[in-house]
Amino acid sequence: MNSEYLALLEEKMGKTFHKLEALKSEKLVDFLGEYIKLCNPDSVYMCDDSEEDAGYIRDRAINEGEEIELAGKNRTIHYDGYGDQARDKKNTKFMVPENKLERMGSLNCVEYKEGLAEIKTIAENIMKGKEAIVKIFCEGPIHSVFSRPCVQLTDSAYVAHSEDILYRRGYEHFLHMEDKSDFWSFCHSAGELDENMNSVNLHNRRIYQDLENNIVYSMNAQYAGNTVGLKKHSMRLAINESGKHGWLCEHMFLMSVMNDEKNRKSHFCGAFPSACGKTSTAMIPGEKIIGDDICYFRNINGQFKAVNVENGIFGIIKDVNEKDDPVIYKALQENNELIFSNVLTGPDNNPYWTGMGIETPKKGRNHSGEWFEGKKDSDGKEIPISHPNSRYTMRLEYLDNIDQAYNDRDGVDVDAIVYGGRDSDTTVPVEESRDWKEGIIIKAVTLESETTAATLGKAGVRVPCLMANLDFISYPIGEYIHNNVKFTDGMDSVPKIFSVNYFMKDKNGKIATSKLAKKVWIHWAEGRCNGEYDAFETPTGYIPVYEDVKVLFKELLDEDFTEELYEYLFSFRCNAWLAKLERAKENFKKNYNDIPQYVYDMWDEYTEKIKAAKEKYGDIIAPGVYKNSR
């Protein structure tokens, strides 16, 4: 290698420099050299996949005060500063050349040269006085067609520790790669820190993504959603790359639905907007989890294959309790390597959080500093024991219900895709699409989430949530929709698409079913994937027959499910669906100028179909009335 940066890197890395040399990647040396020279850390620690290096990072996070040890072995807590406890959507931007800006439509972008100049100005000497860490990870299983190697440069041991829990170590993978230039790069600095080890210069917080060169910059931030580059930032790189090369990256869980009676399992993926049941579906008691957040899809020899990108969970901890989330709760109570963030540390040095389901301490330390019950913030609002966006970081292997397929290098065959929204009066609890195209355009693209009383603003507003992925799509929306529609062309097996809605309200305004009713809807879908169960047709797909779900409720939940409730839940509501399609058309025409015409044509076709059904059967169409059963 003839890189101009070799002498600098050897000086900064010292005894760990040989690990970089062994990788024999001039592109890696140039990336690290450029940004180590710019950010100017006092020293750099280059990691391999060893437990020794992982231990070094864990110890440094504690010694530097970024994490604090809790009671029990291996558990720590990290506190983010006020103003840095959620994703910064405003300052998360795509760096795009001027000649490509217009085609990005409403996506949050900055002109490439302008963005790069701004980042480099902010980054200059930002790591001075610190030690930087270089660590290599792999998105997806290692040594796989799905693998995406990633290189992280950071001055935060907390960020490096979080990634070591959440992702597969990738040094050995990189060592054996044929193309040593094919990787994604991440440069992060927490910037200047205060006495609590929190980022100070939040006005200069920037999370910029260079889609041309697959580089992500994160400056003056600590909250993992802004700094753990391999999560949502890497997801944006993956969506952009997948759009160019014919695969998909989706914001979905991957689970195994277990049919013990038939001695089989089916693989389901699911996309749900926030607070619509994504994690609770992936963690339904009796099923197995492969991943909870991000999937890569590929066509492998005509088969629809998926992998979980991650190796762990960065999950919201609010309301995780022994009753509703027994598997996660158990893992959080054990001496696993865990990082809690922004929860309460009680006098016994154990973590406590809102909705934990047990009596919690009246004082301790939390994200506001020393805390006591009734403490108020500067606006006079009472501060809860834990921040609403407080989190836990843990490995998937800690879960009792982990499916070992989560590490399958070849991926798993996908039987079904589930799109779950939230509305109180339109979408039935479960419905099967007639085919893939209908499923994408009628169910996925029109996905909505209804605001609740707990949401800022007015309750009952239907927020469009395109495929539960809108915040992360990194190329024009119309192209993204088209790539999803065409993805299954020529495949030998195509997953069924289902919609689910766990939030239909009864006539008294309360959610009509128990929390675990979702197990019934998912198992009905699993049966349909395997050629079981009859169904009634509706204008938008197929719904269960009463006798089948009645039996499932009894077998799976030991609950009685009345025919009266069934007819109420599964009636097709024409006016509500007409309004839903009209909202979709208005939203897309207002915000996007590249939506394929066939999307609007299908919405128009279904609008006319629903109007004809309403004319014939009335606004509310009971199950089994529309056309024939199937």
DSSP, residue by residue, 132-183: EEEEEEEESSSSSTT-EEEEEEES-HHHHHHHHHHSEE-HHHHHT-S-TT--
Q: Are 142 and 112 in contact (CB under 8 A)?
A: no
How many Å apart are CA 300 and CA 304, to the nearest integer? 7
Structure confidence at residue 1 as a pLDDT band (50, 70, 90): low
For residue 46, the cross-strand partners are: 134
Q: Which residues contact 42 (CB under 8 A, 6 or more apart)?
A: 127, 128, 129, 130, 131
Residue 453: predicted pLDDT = 47
Determine which of 101-105, 166-170, 206-210, 595-599 has the lowest per-residue pLDDT on average: 101-105
The pTM (predicted TM-score) of the whole model is 0.94
Residue 82: predicted pLDDT = 84
Residue 452: predicted pLDDT = 60
Instruction: Check pLDDT > 80 for residue 392.
Output: yes
Q: Report the catalytic residues.
A: 276
Instruction: Check pLDDT > 50 for residue 371.
Output: yes
H-assigned helices in 253-392: 278-282, 326-333
Structure confidence at residue 409 as a pLDDT band (50, 70, 90): very high
Q: Which residues contact 207 (CB under 8 A, 6 or more apart)?
A: 88, 91, 92, 93, 216, 217, 218, 219, 221, 226, 233
What dihedral angle (degrees, nearest 10) is formed by the CA atoms of 378, 380, 382, 384? -20
Q: Give the angle 391-231-368 at the CA atoms, nearest 5°.
A: 30
Average pLDDT over residues 285-314: 96
Residue 457: predicted pLDDT = 56
Structure confidence at residue 459 as a pLDDT band (50, 70, 90): low
Complete DSSP assignment for 376-389:
B-TTSPBPPSS-TT
Determine which of 155-169, 443-457, 517-531, 616-630 has the lowest per-residue pLDDT on average: 443-457
Helix (H, G, I), strand (E, B), or coil: what is residue 345? Answer: strand
Structure confidence at residue 86 as a pLDDT band (50, 70, 90): confident
Q: Are 5 and 34 in contact (CB under 8 A)?
A: yes
| Nearest CA among 33, 24, 17 for reference residue 1 | 24
Q: What is the pLDDT of residues 333-365, one digit of tens each?
A: 999 999 999 999 999 999 999 999 999 999 999
All domains of the chain in start order, with CATH: 6-231 (3.40.449.10), 249-309+407-621 (3.90.228.20), 314-397 (2.170.8.10)
Average pLDDT over residues 425-430: 96
What is the dihedral sign for C-alpha 567, 568, 569, 575?
A: positive
| Nearest CA among 142, 161, 147 for reference residue 45 | 161
The number of beta carbons lying within 10 Å of the beta carbon of residue 453 is 7
How many Å apart are CA 561 and CA 582, to the nearest integer? 33
Q: What average pLDDT is seen over the chain?
A: 94
Residue 479: predicted pLDDT = 96
Determine which of 185-189, 589-593, 594-598 has the lowest per-residue pLDDT on average: 589-593
Residue 608: predicted pLDDT = 97
